[in-house]
Amino acid sequence: MRFETFVALRYLVTSRRRAHVALIAAISVVGLAVGVAALIISLALLSGFQDRIRKQMMERSAHLRVSPARGARLLDPSRVRGALATLPGVIELAPSIEGRAWASDAGGVQAPAPVHYRNGARQVAEASARITSPLAARLRIQEGEAIRLTSARTRLSPIGPIPMTAALTVSEVRRSSALDKPGEVEVSEETARLLSGVGEGAGAFEARLANPLEAAAAARAVERTLGPDYAVATWRELNAPLAFALRLEKTVIFLTVALVILVAALNIVSNIALTVVEKKRDLGVFTSLGASPASLQRIYLTLGAVIGLLGTSAGVLLGVGLSLALERFRLVPLPADVYMLSHVPFAVHPGEVAAIAAFALLTALAAAVLPARAAARLAPGEAIRLSR
């Protein structure tokens, strides 16, 4: 063991004899541990929710979307289809056709609601529709009942132009999530073509992959195949605003809760500064024995690192343990009929825990720098002269 580490550890252990220093050292360790644990639990809570949102993104969004780089229609839809179809890992593939319409119940009792209809890679059976719960509530319809979509496109009839309508059966009413646009209705490709009047071709093609996490690599492969006339977006890019909001939320929570760690760091500063003052004579003696100023500085940096290590380790154990227990035993229940979940989810991401631990350790070390420098600058002769 190095001389500096040996001295620092002894100072920490024997500080128990000096009640006030011991108390501040204990507060420093506990404060750091609480800060680290609070940060881990906060981020685990956010990750729990965000993981579910990300999962929904992967389930509901197309994993790849190919659209024209310019214009509204694909120049060569069959080429796009071919490029996507030959891509390894593609499990569903469909043209994307969408537009606006009015939705009403079959009897026309309720006031029609403006909706956005679309088909996509997630298949819907012919003559059926998948709607969101707010729309179902507004139209007072349930699964298995009829819904009528009326688009702005018209067709000629003996009595003149009349709007195109499609009478469909509601195949699924799903809970609305943050990913849904208001009044979104998923329909089959045939229905979408009927309502939009797009008989052939498409504005875009969408594909779903067996492993959505490989979307970026797949997108690059399609871009290489199709060239610059086509834009390829992954599910992450299609949901970029939401993903950004989630990242922002996590960053803000991290910065806010990290203040606890900074307060704990102030305790470390005062603890080490107090030790420097108390051990002024020792610094003089070590200097007389041949210790360099850098060596004296290392004693107190080591002291900060040890306090940081103790507090961080305790905080990681507490934070990870509590988060796992909260998830495993579902300790925070939610009313399942209001929320989409029966309990508040917690997810511990090892990378985040490592980042928090590194942040706490660096903060503790940084807190030790000022008093450690003061120790190195101390006049040893004076320290010995005044300590008689």
Work out how close the CB of 310 gets to another protein at its nearest, in angstroms, rounded to a whole number.
19
For residue 297, the SS3 value is: helix
Number of Cα atoms under 13 Å in the Cβ half of residue 51 = 13
For residues 145 and 349, what is the distance between their CA atoms, to the nearest angstrom?
Answer: 43
284 scored as a contact of another protein (CB under 8 A): yes
* Helical spans, DSSP H, in 140-239: 189-196, 215-226, 235-238
Please work out the total of residues on this chain that contact another protein, with binding judged by CB under 8 A: 28
**Contact criterion met (CB below 8 Å) for 62 and 203:** no
Three-class DSSP labels, 347-368: CCCHHHHHHHHHHHHHHHHHHH
Helices (H) and strands (E) in the chain, counts: 12, 10
Mark the segment that binds another protein (CB under 8 A) among 57-65, 210-218, 266-274, 379-387. Answer: 379-387
295 scored as a contact of another protein (CB under 8 A): yes
380 scored as a contact of another protein (CB under 8 A): yes
14 scored as a contact of another protein (CB under 8 A): yes
Closer to another protein by CB, 131 or 283: give it. 283
Burial class (CB in 10 A: 0-12, 13-18, 19+), 50: buried
Closer to another protein by CB, 284 or 345: give it. 284
Closer to another protein by CB, 65 or 279: give it. 279
H or E segment and range at residue 90: strand 90-96
- Strands 184-187 and 146-157 come out as unpaired
Burial class (CB in 10 A: 0-12, 13-18, 19+), 80: buried
Q: Which of 152, 294, 340, 354 binds another protein (CB under 8 A)?
A: 294
Mark the segment that binds another protein (CB under 8 A) among 4-12, 98-106, 168-176, 209-217. Answer: 4-12
Q: What is residue 89's DSSP assignment? A: T
Instruction: For residue 246, give the nearest of 35, 62, 64, 43 by alpha carbon.
Output: 43
249 scored as a contact of another protein (CB under 8 A): no
Mark the segment that binds another protein (CB under 8 A) among 54-62, 107-115, 247-255, 284-292. Answer: 284-292
Q: Which of 110, 133, 292, 342 binds another protein (CB under 8 A)?
A: 292
Work out how close the CB of 280 gets to another protein at its nearest, in angstroms, rounded to a whole number.
12
Closer to another protein by CB, 19 or 159: give it. 19
Q: Which of 22, 153, 293, 330 binds another protein (CB under 8 A)?
A: 293
Q: Which of 281, 330, 343, 349 binds another protein (CB under 8 A)?
A: 281
- Strands 146-157 and 98-105 come out as antiparallel
Closer to another protein by CB, 285 or 370: give it. 285
244 scored as a contact of another protein (CB under 8 A): no
Structure tokens at 125: 């059976």
Work out how close the CB of 281 gets to another protein at its nearest, in angstroms, rounded to a whole number.
6
112 scored as a contact of another protein (CB under 8 A): no
133 scored as a contact of another protein (CB under 8 A): no
Burial class (CB in 10 A: 0-12, 13-18, 19+), 388: exposed
19 scored as a contact of another protein (CB under 8 A): no
Closer to another protein by CB, 8 or 170: give it. 8
Mark the segment that binds another protein (CB under 8 A) among 131-139, 226-234, 291-299, 344-352. Answer: 291-299
Instruction: For residue 205, give the nearest of 111, 38, 66, 310 by alpha carbon.
Output: 66
Mark the segment that binds another protein (CB under 8 A) among 79-87, 127-135, 276-284, 297-305. Answer: 276-284
Structure tokens at 303: 């002291």
- Measured CA to CA in angstroms, residue 69 lies from 59, 74, 89, 181, 266 at distances of 26, 9, 24, 24, 55
Closer to another protein by CB, 14 or 110: give it. 14
Backbone angles phi and psi of 232, in degrees to 5? -115, 125
3 scored as a contact of another protein (CB under 8 A): yes
**Contact criterion met (CB below 8 Å) for 284 and 384:** yes
Residues that bind another protein (CB under 8 A): 1, 3, 6, 10-11, 14, 281-282, 284-295, 379-382, 384-385, 387-388
